[in-house]
Amino acid sequence: MGSSEERVIAVIMVGGPTKGTRFRPLSLNLAKPLFPLAGQPMVYHPIAACKRIPNLAQIYLIGFYEEREFALFVSSISNELRVPVRYLKEDKPHGSAGGLYNFRDFIMEDNPSQILLLNCDVCCSFPLPEMLEAHRRYGGMGTILVIKVSPESANQFGELVADPETNELLHYTEKPETFVSDRINCGVYVFTPDIFTAIEGVSMQRKDRANLRRLSSFEALQSATRSLLTDFVRLDQDILSPLAGKKQLYTYETLDFWEQIKTPGMSLKCSGLYLYQYRVTTPHLLASGDGKKNATVVGDVFVHPSAKVHPTAKIGPNVSISANARIGAGVRLISCIILDDVEIKENAVVIHSIVGWKSSIGKWSRVQAEGDYNAKLGVTILGEDVTVEDEVVVINSIVLPHKTLNVSVQEEIIL
């Protein structure tokens, strides 16, 4: 089926400042999709996965951020991967399906036969070529990436039931009250252009319903909000649920890793998952060293070429060091993200932490946490330009930007 004239378009939903408060203080000075995981912006990982697809014509990023926040990234990634990437800014919230529909003219410009839809805050191996292959075999309108999770955690996501023989989606429910299934929606989809007809159908139904009812004076006040609702279409509740069981939608199950990146703690976990994936996809990005000429490296570690790491330091596993960082003699780093221009002085220790841009950690200091990625203070976070003075211990804490710590703290949020 993969004939030469077939074209694929990818759309990545990047969200925007309307949400993302849970990612503070790291999102205070950087759009969340540009926060580095395993040394690359979060949104880089789904984009690089799309690059593995033959006949990919274009990648669109759709969100609410100001265009200037993405301009630099979009131009550099387009050059690096040699695939056109374009950022489209939404004027108002349209919902996940409405946002796609809103830009249908751009998306259909290349006359694609398949449209990939991915959420930026998803961390997985993005098995897109295999998914496309399955989607063509099923012959439906859409295919959803699914994964099996523990029954206890399933209700935080969209749960679904599929036919075990045909993989047809039979039932879909978003965050149900009672247990439906341990298979959940991963937020990665392949659609044919028929998806636009389905979204339009939902909007039309709503307009008809709104017009049928004569407006009372109270409703007249609300009619402004109702006009918003006719073009606000959610993919899960408004499209997937009603179309389940109608031989339109199918599932493709991944047996690989999958996580949702909602908090800084999860970003540290996901950085580790991507570092581990580099072993398979891009092993040349991983650092190595035995403590002779270079620092001792344990497990999966990324070090930016411009960072300076002392040969007596010991780093890893799950460590990512960004541009121009300086890591001093005898430093020990475990499970952490060190951002641009950070200085870590002699014999300091950093464990289960994220150290913000331009921060500095003094000699013999410790910045650490328990490493519970889901707990509010399970990972220690230093915002931008935080100074931890010599011999200070910071445990299970969040420190907002531009603070200096000269006494030790534990389990604190320092505003």
Check: CB of residue 374 under 8 Å from CB of residue 347: no
Tell me the CA end-to-end span of the chain in Å, nearest whole number.
Answer: 57
- At 40, which helix (H) or strand (E)? strand 40-41
For residue 222, the model assigns a pLDDT of 52
Residue linked to tokens 């989607």: 135
Check: CB of residue 153 under 8 Å from CB of residue 113: no
DSSP letter (8 states) at residue 237: I
pLDDT in tens, 38-55: 999 999 999 999 999 989
Alpha carbon 415 to its chain's center: 27
Does residue 85 sit in helix, strand or coil? Answer: strand
CA distance 54 to 74: 21
Cis peptide before 127 (omega within 30 of 0): no
- Go through the domains of the chain in sequence order and give each one's CATH number: 8-260 (3.90.550.10), 264-414 (2.160.10.10)
Residue linked to tokens 């949020």: 413
pLDDT in tens, 307-339: 999 999 999 999 999 999 999 999 999 999 999
For residue 232, the model assigns a pLDDT of 84
For residue 349, the model assigns a pLDDT of 98
Radius of gyration of the chain (CA): 23
For residue 229, the model assigns a pLDDT of 61
CA distance 212 to 207: 9
CA-wise closest residue to 238 among 173, 309, 182, 184: 173
CA distance 29 to 340: 13
Q: What is the token pair recorded at 53?
A: 């697809």
Q: For each successive 10 residues of the chain (415 residues), what is the average pLDDT?
A: 73 80 84 95 96 93 93 95 94 88 94 96 96 96 96 89 95 85 95 94 79 56 53 87 93 95 94 96 93 94 97 97 98 98 98 98 98 94 97 97 97 93
Q: pTM of the full predicted structure?
A: 0.91
Q: What is the token pair recorded at 368?
A: 């650490």
DSSP letter (8 states) at residue 228: H
For 290, residues 6+ apart whose C-beta sits below 8 A from its C-beta are 296, 297
For residue 381, the model assigns a pLDDT of 96
CA distance 100 to 90: 10
